[in-house]
Amino acid sequence: MIHLENVKLIKYIEEYDPVSDKNVTYKQITLTERVKITKTSFTNSHTYLIQADKDINDRANYIVPFDDPDINLRSDYQIYRRINGFLQPSEIKASRRRLGLSLRELAAILGMSFSTLSEIENGLVLHSQIQDNLLRLLAHGDLLQQLAVYHKNYVISHFDSKTFESIMKKLKHTEILKLQG
């Protein structure tokens, strides 16, 4: 049972329904829901659409927004990361860019697949604690340099010697700027 005092009507919207070949009016609502991801529980405000003529108490009538079907999931992931002290995707992306590294370069240094790192940076997946620990090396160019040196052959096998040297220069340059500033 939905507690109506928990539901807020945001606005009415019209969307084209290709099945009926008609415009359909929806109520866009938000409500606070209990969420559990692994062992972490919290409440979060979620957004749904309900056809204007449908019962708001029937969860079967709830549809995620057509233009952003992952809105609730992304919001849940953001809260989960904050509660558990994990880096947010925007922080990871900003740190990587500050170092001047491409996604592929950083993935090779960390021993992570390019697609996994891309999904983490874009907030599409939750990263593990061990991945978070690795990603925290982005704040420590000297440690990231050491990691790259330890895995030099692996990095070179994914690129070439010239690219490895370029990566090392970027990391050294970042450390020099850090010391100067």
Fold of 89-180: 434 Repressor (Amino-terminal Domain) (1.10.260)
Give the number of C-alpha atoms closer than 13 A to the C-alpha of residue 104, restricted to the C-beta side.
7
- Looking at every residue in the chain, the average pLDDT score rounds to 91
Q: In whole angstroms, what is the distance from residue 142 CA to residue 4 CA?
A: 55
Q: Which band of pLDDT confidence, cut at 50, 70 and 90, is reported for residue 2?
A: low
pLDDT digits (tens, 9 = 90+) for 123-135: 999 999 999 999 9
Q: Which band of pLDDT confidence, cut at 50, 70 and 90, is reported for residue 3?
A: low
Strand order in the sheet with 7-17: 7-17, 22-37, 40-51
Q: In whole angstroms, what is the distance from residue 13 CA to residue 27 CA?
A: 6
In the chain, beta strands by DSSP E? 7-17, 22-37, 40-51
pLDDT at position 20: 85
Domain residue spans of the chain: 4-69, 89-180
Phi-psi region of 34 (alpha: psi -120 to 50; beta: other; left: phi over 0): beta
pLDDT digits (tens, 9 = 90+) for 168-179: 998 887 765 565
Is 24's pLDDT higher than 70? Answer: yes
pTM of the model: 0.82
